[in-house]
A and B are shown apart, each in its own frame.
Chain A
Amino acid sequence: MNQNIFTSETAATRDGFGVGLVEVAQQDGKVFALCADLTESMRLDKFEQLFPNRFVQMGVAEQNMIGVAAGLALAGKTPFATSFAVFSPGRTLDQIRVSIAYSNLNVKIVGGHAGLSTGPDGATHQALEDIALMRTLPNMTVICPSDAQQAREATIALANHQGPAYLRLSRPKYPILKHQKPFKIGEAEILKEGNDLTLISCGDAIHDCLLATTALEKMKISAQVINLHTIKPIDKKALVQAANKTKRLITVEDHQVAGGLGSAVAEVLLPEINQSVTNELKFLMIGVGDAFGESGEESELKKKYKVDVQTIVINAKNLLISY
């Protein structure tokens, strides 16, 4: 079953971003890229080479980068301001809040190396709170693509979308997925159908969800997977449908449970219980539980902080038994 979803090609979401940005910049002369001394890591080398006049090397100065991006947007440009997510939005919340979100400017903030998957660099470099920070800002769109191909499409979509947005990217390579439909901001995607429960996730964690469904099938549990690539604006309709169809939902994310994708899902579904959502709903959130990460390999970290395939499988099984 899952063989139909995973392709044999692997790439990181940051790779897809780099490809998509060059593609859209070839069509649209307004697209700018800003970088804080991480050109290669953020996959902007080709952009810099092809469009030197639209590339801005900021040095290690992320706060100024965000302000400069705001100024570029005020001049009618479409700047993509990139860094590691721990630095931006991690360090630049005030600048994003005031200079971009409040002014409703057309700036795309791109946070790379997000999540535990950043691995050996340790807790300082593992952004686990960026989704929470960005989705609380009015006017802000928040996107975390599931794979490189979707990151490419999301980048192009964001360049054509008017308004501030945050694009969350990560470092490791994963198989590119076969998608059911083209990427559209705000439209969740059912990557795999199932009847007993729904796994809702974004980014690299989608892959763990898909692997978990294979293990669950062996236990005769049919799980569906929703790729909630757009965390804001959230696709309430798709979530309500899934809640009523499977009655058990589990959110999975490489991010703090507090304020992340799971919280966003809870915010729209829980007030609907007994209204558009069944009162039989069972809801569980998997993510990092109020802890900092540490150095280690991605697989070791996911296991230790309980955001791995096994954790998903155990929780899914328990949710069904307790039901």
Chain B
Amino acid sequence: MSSNSAPKISKDKIQQLEGLAREARVKVIEIISHAGSGHPAGSLGMADIFVALYFEILKFQPNNPTWKNRDYLFLSNGHICPILYAVLNMTGFFPAIELNTLRKINSRLQGHPHYGSLPGVENTSGPLGQGISQAAGLALALKRDKKKNRVFCIMSDGEQQEGQVWETYQFINKYQLDNLTCVIDRNFIQIEGNTEKIMPLENLQEKIKSFGLKTYQINGHDFVEIIAIIKKAVNDNLPSVIIANTIPGKGVSFMENKSEWHGKAPNSEETVLALNELSTTK
């Protein structure tokens, strides 16, 4: 496929993906509500990108999670694991009955993802800045072994405040890790409020570009754009970072763009409201 031929995606396909994203958001609300704690805003905001990756981009075999030709998705901002768990369930890595064990004792669904606990979870993360280093190490090994697998790494925007992230950008550039595609959830919120107030990140794209990486910006809720740009980043064969502009809490109006929903579970009334909204939105 040439890099400039944008793949056509049918309207039916888009509708199907939107339906899957809605289903994923419902699961996110249900499991965080059941757990009584967790991080809904980023999980909802990244639902479209996770659905696009797991249903359109990544190569994997749910029945054979360590398949040697698979693509890897590393989650660096581990706190949004509810959306990862939702999509891993929807693609068949583990049964739905386990979803409600999130954050409970003896569960494979840890509060932050743990490598080795749950099939499909490729890395351990939680403390920010670590997943991208792990992804870079894996990408380096695959590149030196001349293997074709792709590595994707999801990060948050607040995470860009960690120095380790910039150590890794230097490294990705030096070793030209063209098999690695990073996606930053640019939702402008972190625990205490707006990222630009807590510790300004702008101009984020220019900063990353100046580290020698190919950068893209996308609307993180537009499937046509998400899929086209991720595929372009993959086919361009350059180490790349995609800044995905998203709405934190997307799909649940009272959560949207509110930093207080970064790390708080909805109570039972809020859960009903949220689920009603998700079931009626088109």
Contact = CB atoms under 8 A, between A and B. Distances in A.
Residue from B137, B139, B140 having most chain A Cβ neighbours under 10 A:
B137
Interface stretch (B166-174, B217-225, B232-240): B166-174
Given A75-B145, A98-B127, A66 B114 contact: no
A53 B174 CA distance: 14
Contacts of B254: none
A72 B114 contact: no
A259 to B, nearest CB: 22
Given A53-B144, A103-B124, A75 B138 contact: yes
Given A61-B170, A103-B116, A70 B133 contact: yes
B136 interface: yes
A73 B123 CA distance: 11
B36 interface: no
A242 interface: no
A71 interface: yes
Given A75-B145, A77-B141, A98-B130, A64 B136 contact: yes
B195 interface: no
Given A68-B136, A94-B127, A99-B133, A61 B171 contact: yes
Given A102-B114, A103-B123, A75 B141 contact: yes
Interface string B156-179: 000000011001101100100000
Contact of B168 (A67, A76, A98, A102): A67
Nearest to A94: B127
Contact of A63 (B138, B140, B167): B167
Contacts of A69: 137
Given A64-B171, A74-B122, A99 B130 contact: yes
B127 A66 contact: no
Contacts of A103: 114-116, 123-124
B139 A71 contact: yes
Interface string A45-83: 000000001101011010110111111111111010000
Contacts of B144: 53-54
Contact of B167 (A64, A74, A79): A64
A70 B137 contact: yes
A47 B64 CA distance: 36
A99 B144 CA distance: 22
B70 to A, nearest CB: 12
Q: How large is the interface on B (under 10, 10 to 19, 20 to 34, 35 or more residues)?
A: 20 to 34
Given A68-B140, A70-B137, A95 B171 contact: no
A83 B140 CA distance: 20
A67 B164 CA distance: 9
A53 B142 CA distance: 12
A70 to B, nearest CB: 5
A71 B171 contact: no
Contacts, number: 100
Contacts of B132: 67
B43 interface: no
A74 B137 contact: yes
Contacts of A77: 141
B126 interface: yes
Given A63-B167, A102-B124, A71 B138 contact: yes
Contact of A72 (B115, B138, B170): B138
Contacts of A75: 137-138, 141-142, 145
A64 to B, nearest CB: 4
Contact of A67 (B136, B145, B170): B136
Given A64-B171, A103-B116, A71 B124 contact: no
A34 to B, nearest CB: 9
Given A98-B126, A103-B114, A103-B124, A71 B167 contact: no
B259 interface: no
B1 to A, nearest CB: 26
Given A67-B130, A99-B130, 13 more contacts: A63-B163, A63-B164, A64-B136, A67-B133, A67-B137, A68-B171, A70-B133, A71-B133, A73-B137, A94-B127, A99-B123, A102-B124, A103-B123
22 contacts: A53-B144, A54-B144, A63-B129, A67-B129, A67-B130, A67-B131, A67-B133, A67-B136, A67-B137, A67-B164, A70-B130, A71-B136, A72-B140, A74-B138, A75-B137, A94-B127, A98-B130, A99-B133, A102-B114, A102-B124, A103-B114, A103-B116
Interface of A: 53-54, 56, 58-59, 61, 63-64, 66-77, 79, 94-95, 98-99, 102-105
